[in-house]
Copies of this chain bind each other. A is one copy, B any other.
Amino acid sequence: MAHAHSHVIHEGASLKQAARDTLEKSGQQWTAMRASVFDALAQFERPASAYDIAEAVSKAEGRRIAANSIYRILDLFVASNLARRVESVNAYVANAHPDCQHDCIFLVCDACGQATHIDDDSLSGNVRRAAEKAGFSVKRPIIEVHGTCADCDKN
Contacts and interface: CB of A to CB of B under 8 A. Distances in A.
A10 to B, nearest CB: 20
Give the copy number.
2
A44 B135 CA distance: 22
Contacts of A141: 143-146
A153 B118 CA distance: 31
Contact of A130 (B123, B142, B153): B123
A127 B118 contact: no
B118 A143 contact: no
Interface string A44-64: 000000000000000000000
Which range contains the number of A residues in contact with the other chain? 20 to 34
A153 B126 contact: no
Contacts of A12: none
B136 A145 contact: yes
A17 to B, nearest CB: 28
A150 B81 CA distance: 28
A74 to B, nearest CB: 16
A139 interface: yes
A128 interface: yes
15 contacts: A88-B88, A105-B130, A105-B131, A109-B136, A123-B127, A127-B143, A127-B145, A135-B153, A140-B147, A141-B144, A141-B145, A141-B146, A142-B145, A142-B146, A143-B143
